[in-house]
Every structure is written in C-alpha cells, then in structure tokens.
Amino acid sequence: MRTFFDSAVESRYKTEEELRAITVNYCIALIPVIAAGCYAFGFNAFKVLLASVVSCVASEYIYQKLMKLPVTSLDGTALMTGLLLGLCLPSEVPLYIPILGGMFATIVVVQLFGGYGFHVMNPALVSRCFLLISFSEAMTEYKIDGLTTATPLTIMRNGGTPDLQQLIVFNEQAGCIGEASVLALIVGALFLLIFRKISVITPTVYLFVFTIVICLFGGQDISLNDVLTHIFGGGVIFVAFFFATDRVTSPVGRWGKVIYGVLLGLITAIYRILGTNTESVSYAVIFCNLLVPLIDKYFAPRGVVEKEA
C-alpha cells in the first residue's frame, strides 16, 4: 500500500513547496466560510474551530516527536485539517468533541498511514463520521441561541419549506458551522478555481449527477424548492469544492475525476432518497475515497502508472 500511495502522491505534489502552497490557498479560501460561520453562530463557533485546529496541530507535533519523525506540524496540513473538521461540526458541541476529533483525524487517519499524503480517506470527514457514531446526540442536535432547531433538510423531510434565500446568503436556521452561507462557500471555491488549485471537473460532474438523480427519483411530488434545498443544504456544495477535490484522496487523471464525480453524485443521492440519515455526503466521500486506487489503476495518466510499476 505504501508503495502505491507514494507513487500517487508524487504525481500530486512534486515538491514540498507545492504542497505548502496548496494548503495555504485552501486555508485562505476558507476565510469567508469561517467568517460567515462565526457571525451566524457566534463565539461558540470560534471556540469549536480553535479547539479543532489546536488539537490537530498539537497531535501531529506530539506524535512525530514521540515517534522521532520529522516534525511537519507547521507546514499547514494540520491547520487545514483542523479548519475543515471544525467547519463540519455544530457550533454547540462540547469542546471535547473537536479535541477528540482532531486527535482521531491526525493520528489514526493520517499519521498511522505514514503522514499527510499517504492517508487513504479524507481525515476531516472520517473524523466527523467517527464523532457521529460516538456522540450521535451532540452531533445531531443543532442549537441557535440555546434553542434546538431543525436543519433545512429536516424541515423539508417533515413537509416544511425552508427559506432558500436565507440558506444561500446567510443561514440562520441550523446546521454545521461551514453551512452558514452557501455564498461564502462559492466565494472560497472561486478563489481556488481562479488560482487553479482545484479542478472544476469533479465538482461539476458531482453536482450535475446528484441533481439529475434527485430530480428523477426524489419523488413524484418533488418541487424545485426541494431540489434546490438538496443542493444547497446538507453540505453538498461544501463537499463538492473542498473535499471532493482533495488531491491526496481523489483521482489523478481527467477521466478518473469524471468517474469519481459520477460515483459521488450517485451515492450521495441514493443516501438522500433511500436513507433516513441526512449526513449522506460524508459517507459518500469516504466510500468513494476507498475506490480511488482502483480508479487510478485504470484511468491515471500513463506516467503515473509507469511510476507505480
């Protein structure tokens, strides 16, 4: 496994400077998302984000020191993982949750696989799923000003009609910190696209396939408002541009990215339509992460295949 992922990582990050540049740009792109989340959910959101970041950075530093490995905690990768994990959490969770999540993401998902670049699945989303299983009540109870509220997807499932304008511009209903504003997510995504830090292929294919499947099989009485709620709610936009485009856990080649986007769209939509859990995007990405080595085996550019051999 190590040999395969070593060759795959060489094709994604040719130098340490490139890796550092990409992580820095990801962190910059997350600034409007962080600002919107902290404004919508208050100081609690800032505390969750801070706890997540400190946990990731400190866990990496301590682990590498104990194992007598080169210390890489200042290269930005742990910071990026901490921010992404924190943005995937509700703002009212107890602080031990982002702390444990940061430790799990850094040590179990990344370091035990050989460090950043060798992990198989996205550390922030794997940690989020670990926290969902371990602390389901705290992770699914969304509060605003101390009052428990329903997410837009839950409102729709119960026959209500979420406020789409509020959801896109500034969500004061409920959700994770990173879901406070779809507009902020789009601004961050445009930054990454303009500076060519991510490919547009996977997000475009993912959103297209997801939308088509929801429209065709989401129910006979599904409305345009319902379809848009599916797209703009539940973290789909967040995942499409900030997780599905992760270079380490996504395919290398163009056709690989297309297939990856198709699978993500199909699995996310199937979870949404047939499942009762609204947290479909996290599970969809993790499952598709496991298929990336197989996709790359047949659809990676020839140079990568030769390098692996």
What would the DSSP string read from start to end of 24-76? Answer: HHHHHHTHHHHHHHHHHHTHHHHHHHHHHHHHHHHHHHHHHHHTT----TTSS
Please answer whether residues 126 and 101 qualify as being in contact, where contact means their C-beta atoms are separated by less than 8 angstroms. no
248 in Cβ contact with 7 (< 8 Å) = no
Evaluate if residue 106 carries a pLDDT over 80: yes
Amino acid at site 103 = M
**Per-residue pLDDT tens digits for 241-284:** 999 999 889 998 899 999 999 999 999 999 888 876 556 788 99
pLDDT at 149 over 80: no
Neighbouring C-alpha atoms within 13 Å toward the C-beta of 23: 22
Query: Rounded CA gap, 191 and 29, in Å?
Result: 6
Handedness of CA 271, 275, 281, 287 (dihedral sign): negative
Number of domains in the chain: 1
Q: Which two tokens stand for residue 239?
A: 């995942």
In this predicted structure, the answer to whether residue 160 has a pLDDT above a threshold of 80 is: no
CA–CA separation, 258 and 205 (whole Å): 6
What pairs with residue 149 in β-bridges? 142
Cα distance between residue 11 and residue 180, in whole Å: 35
**What pLDDT, on the 0 to 100 scale, is given for residue 186?**
95
Give the three-class secondary structure for 275: coil
- Provide the pLDDT for residue 308: 43
CA distance 30 to 100: 22
* Entry pTM: 0.86
| Range of weakest confidence among 14-28, 41-55, 141-155, 266-280 | 141-155
pLDDT at 159: 63
Tell me the CA distances in angstroms from 49 to 53, 68, 101, 176, 267, one per residue in order. Answer: 6, 28, 11, 11, 29
Model pLDDT, residue 279: 67
227 lies in which domain range? 2-308
**CA–CA gap between residue 245 and residue 243 (Å, rounded):** 5
By C-alpha distance, which of 62, 58, 143, 71 is closest to 98? Answer: 58
The number of residues making up the chain comes to: 309
What does the DSSP 8-state code read for residue 197?
Answer: S
- For the chain, the 3-state helix, strand and coil shares in percent, each to the nearest 5, are 70, 0, 30
Please give the single-letter amino acid code of residue 213.
V
**What's the pLDDT band for 162 if we cut at 50, 70, 90?**
low
Please spell the DSSP secondary structure of 124-180, one letter per residue: HHHHHHHHHHHSHHHHH-EEETTEEE--HHHHHHTT----HHHHHH---S---GGGS
CATH of the domain at 91: 1.10.3430
Residues 6+ positions from 5 with CB-CB distance below 8 Å: 113, 114, 117, 118, 120, 293
Please, are residues 252 and 245 in contact by the beta-carbon 8 Å criterion?
Answer: no
